[in-house]
Chains A and B, each alone.
Chain A
Amino acid sequence: MQNKAIVVDHLWKIYTGREKNIVALRDISFSVSKGEVVGILGPNGAGKTTLCLILSGLLEPTKGTAYIMGEDIRELKRKACEKYIALYLAEHMRLWSAFIRLPALKYLEAIGAIRCIEGDLKKKAEEALKKVGLWEWRNEWPSRFSTGMKRKLMIAETLMYELPILVLDEPTVHLDPISCMEIWNILKELAHDGKTILLTTQNMEEAEYLCDKILFLNKGRIVASGSPHELKELTRYEKIAVKVSPKSREFAKLLEKIDGVTEIMQVKDVEEGTLVVAKSIKGCVEPSTIVELAKSTGLKVLLLSYEQLSLSDIFRILLKGEENESEDRA
């Protein structure tokens, strides 16, 4: 238990409604070591935000509990946010309106003062700004920032706390790939320095790049867990991208009939021809089969690429698998 920052033990959360109860979390158990980055993925409404709120001590679990740095969250409650956890909820955070007409640096100092952050505020604000890549904008008013820059400023606010655990709910939503990368590098550095990071995201690239471990939630249950690499290896499917010329949509239908091909994922007309992406069982379809098929219909294969399923594809398969399971049960 010593090096575990977060331990979740058979957690349940049931919201009682007027007509019926909503089970948000169903018997969740997992643990996070210190310095680990764990990503929580899942469709909207799967219980990710509920989990973040419970772990921050802001929502009472119905059954079961969680241990933050060894302390029971049911007793800690809100104090978890004072001692251990910095929470960042992307959808609910707003800039403090009175201060948005101050230079960004002063804005951070003011927020630090209001949030009772200890120490030299000016230095902390400077470091936070530099880390998120807003240093050249330190004398600008946040009211003039674009959406992405405002988000970075809010992340800087969260970084000024020096607490060991960061719980981030969709931290890089609205950010372009470069700003994302900047934030990811910051988070990686923080994890390297020993901070534990729990984040929720819909961005699969983020999950792959950042997370040591991913937990996949659906309808309140953990459906899959493992490192991104493991999740991608575990699946028995792979992706085949074929570009044929000239353009032909019928080729997709022929491709589907090949033994081993389970689904056509995408058909798109591009400049030189048609791009077809299909899902097939690993090792089942040989390149020569596809080239022969194309030749037989008078098409030329410009590109043929076997790829590992991306994390988004895995996401969709897991979700569909869940749907099929529940249909079977029903």
Chain B
Amino acid sequence: MTVQPIVVSELVKEYSGRGRKITALKGVSFSVNEGEIVGILGPNGAGKTTLCLILSGLLEPTKGTAYIMGEDIRKLRRKACEKYIALYLSEYTQWSLNPRIPALKYLVMVGAIDCIKGDLKKKAETALKKVGLWEWRNEWPSRFSTGMKRRLLLAAMLMYDFPILILDEPTVHLDPASCIEVWKAIKAIASEEGRTVLLTTQNMEEAEYLCDRIIFLHKGSIIASGSPEYFKTLVSKYEEISLKVSPLKPEFKKALEKLDGVLRVRSEDTTLILEAQKNTVEPATLIDLASQFNVKILSMSYERPSLSEVFRILLKGGGKWD
């Protein structure tokens, strides 16, 4: 039975100074399994960076604690960063390495300076392959695009052989094409290497694409947690299904209205829009019903709120989806 990499238990963090107290985290509890990618979402100032710093052992929790690979972070403190956690706060190479040496050598240098044990060259090679930069191993990082530089930093983090990676906004400033490259690299790290990834982000597309689970923080408390799919179903009991049909027959429309779970059907041009309870109407059912009436369904779409809309609804309440 493998130990859970991260277990957080009633974590509280209060900043006090000049006679005022700011509670950054108010009793946060969750756990992360091996190989999972968990995203921490929330408005600015919700406590995401505070949480990352506490989990890395660089900030003391006021109350409660966290267990990294079974060890109490209050006792581990900085050593968590030497044994278990690779932290990425923002684009920063501590040792201002000359980026005009081949990427492979660059990684070997970073490894040497950070006192990584073992065969550095081999580790660098594996890391480069994992993030998809192997063909660029003899190129200078100064010539890389921003997305490639991020991936190189990820490769450096990989060399540490730590089971946990904590990434704070890993794809900020990146264009969508570079984002995908970085996401693929992170997914490869999590699934093939079995490393646990905890990341914070404001990019909803990133949260949907990458995360197995999302934890939503607001004013220091978790107000929701689950998979991105779960979040989409969270804010509304209903879903809208649009069917583009040919031809449009009134009998078909009536039959749809009688289906289990369907509340209303309205028509707009050649499209029928069903309002139904979540997860009650299956595509197969609709297609079979259509073929009974000799109607062809050209296309269908289940409209769900996007993750950004979910975000806004969770924080403000109200919207088209109530």
A contact set with B: CB distance below 8 Å: 41-45, 91, 145-149, 170, 173-181, 202-205, 238, 266, 268, 270-272, 275, 283, 286-288, 290-291, 295, 300-307, 310, 312, 315-316, 319
Residues of B near A301 (CB, < 8 A) are 282-284
Cβ-defined contact, A178 with B173, below 8 A: no
* Chain B contacts with A in 184-228, Cβ cutoff 8 A: 202-205, 209, 227
Q: Is B93 an interface residue (CB 8 A)?
A: no
With A177-B312, A271-B229, A271-B230 as given contacts, are A148 and B44 in contact (CB-CB < 8 Å)? yes
Residues of A near B44 (CB, < 8 A) are 146-149, 174-176, 179
In the complex, residue of chain A having the shortest beta-carbon distance to the beta carbon of B202: A176
Q: Is B111 an interface residue (CB 8 A)?
A: no
Count residues of chain B with CB under 8 A from any CB of chain A. Answer: 48
Cβ-defined contact, B301 with A307, below 8 A: yes
Cβ-defined contact, A43 with B302, below 8 A: no
Nearest Cβ in chain A — how far from B152, in angstroms? Answer: 14
Known: A91-B173, A180-B202. 20 other contacts (CB 8 A): A43-B145, A44-B146, A44-B175, A44-B178, A148-B43, A149-B45, A176-B42, A177-B204, A181-B312, A205-B308, A268-B209, A270-B229, A271-B227, A275-B229, A287-B297, A300-B282, A301-B282, A303-B283, A306-B299, A312-B176
Residues of B near A43 (CB, < 8 A) are 145, 175, 177-178
Cβ-defined contact, B284 with A300, below 8 A: yes
> B37-73, CB under 8 A of A: which get 1 and which 0?
0000111111001000000000000000000000000
Cβ-defined contact, B202 with A175, below 8 A: yes
Cβ-defined contact, A304 with B300, below 8 A: yes
Cβ-defined contact, A173 with B173, below 8 A: yes
With A148-B43, A304-B283 as given contacts, are A315 and B312 in contact (CB-CB < 8 Å)? no
A178–B298 alpha-carbon span in the complex (Å)? 36
A205–B309 alpha-carbon span in the complex (Å)? 11
A178: which of B146, B287, B311 is its contact (CB, 8 Å)?
Answer: B311
A175–B147 alpha-carbon span in the complex (Å)? 20
A91–B146 alpha-carbon span in the complex (Å)? 14
Q: Is B263 an interface residue (CB 8 A)?
A: no
Nearest Cβ in chain B — how far from A93, in angstroms? Answer: 14
Residues of A near B169 (CB, < 8 A) are 174
Shortest 6 CB-CB contacts between residues of A and residues of B: A148-B44, A146-B45, A304-B283, A312-B176, A306-B299, A44-B146
A303–B283 alpha-carbon span in the complex (Å)? 6
With A178-B316, A204-B205, A312-B205 as given contacts, are A42 and B175 in contact (CB-CB < 8 Å)? yes
A17–B106 alpha-carbon span in the complex (Å)? 24
Q: Is the interface of A mostly helix, strand, loop or mixed?
A: mixed
Cβ-defined contact, A270 with B279, below 8 A: no
B300: which of A173, A179, A268, A287 is its contact (CB, 8 Å)?
Answer: A287
Residues of A near B300 (CB, < 8 A) are 287, 304-306
Q: Is B315 an interface residue (CB 8 A)?
A: yes
Residues of A near B284 (CB, < 8 A) are 291, 295, 300-301
Residues of A near B101 (CB, < 8 A) are none
Residues of A near B179 (CB, < 8 A) are 312
A42–B177 alpha-carbon span in the complex (Å)? 9
Cβ-defined contact, A291 with B283, below 8 A: yes
With A44-B146, A175-B44, A295-B284 as given contacts, are A319 and B177 in contact (CB-CB < 8 Å)? yes
A76–B178 alpha-carbon span in the complex (Å)? 37
Between-chain CB contacts (< 8 Å), 10 pairs = A43-B177, A176-B42, A178-B312, A202-B174, A286-B298, A287-B287, A288-B287, A290-B283, A304-B302, A305-B300
In the complex, residue of chain A having the shortest beta-carbon distance to the beta carbon of B228: A270
Residues of B near A283 (CB, < 8 A) are 298-299
From A173, A181, A287, name the one whose CB has the most chain B CB atoms within 10 angstroms.
A287
* Chain B contacts with A in 223-263, Cβ cutoff 8 A: 227, 229-230
A319–B177 alpha-carbon span in the complex (Å)? 8
A9–B175 alpha-carbon span in the complex (Å)? 27
Nearest Cβ in chain B — how far from A299, in angstroms? Answer: 10
In the complex, residue of chain B having the shortest beta-carbon distance to the beta carbon of A292: B287
Residues of B near A176 (CB, < 8 A) are 41-44, 46, 202, 311
Cβ-defined contact, B308 with A177, below 8 A: yes
With A149-B44, A178-B43, A304-B283 as given contacts, are A287 and B299 in contact (CB-CB < 8 Å)? yes
Cβ-defined contact, B42 with A170, below 8 A: no
A290–B298 alpha-carbon span in the complex (Å)? 12
A145–B45 alpha-carbon span in the complex (Å)? 8
Nearest Cβ in chain B — how far from A312, in angstroms? Answer: 4
* Chain B contacts with A in 289-303, Cβ cutoff 8 A: 291, 296-303
A287–B179 alpha-carbon span in the complex (Å)? 31
A174–B48 alpha-carbon span in the complex (Å)? 13
Q: Is B81 an interface residue (CB 8 A)?
A: no
A203–B302 alpha-carbon span in the complex (Å)? 24
With A287-B300, A301-B284, A306-B301 as given contacts, are A205 and B176 in contact (CB-CB < 8 Å)? no
In the complex, residue of chain A having the shortest beta-carbon distance to the beta carbon of B315: A178
Residues of A near B316 (CB, < 8 A) are 178
A216–B315 alpha-carbon span in the complex (Å)? 33
Q: Is B172 an interface residue (CB 8 A)?
A: yes
Cβ-defined contact, A286 with B296, below 8 A: yes
A300–B285 alpha-carbon span in the complex (Å)? 11
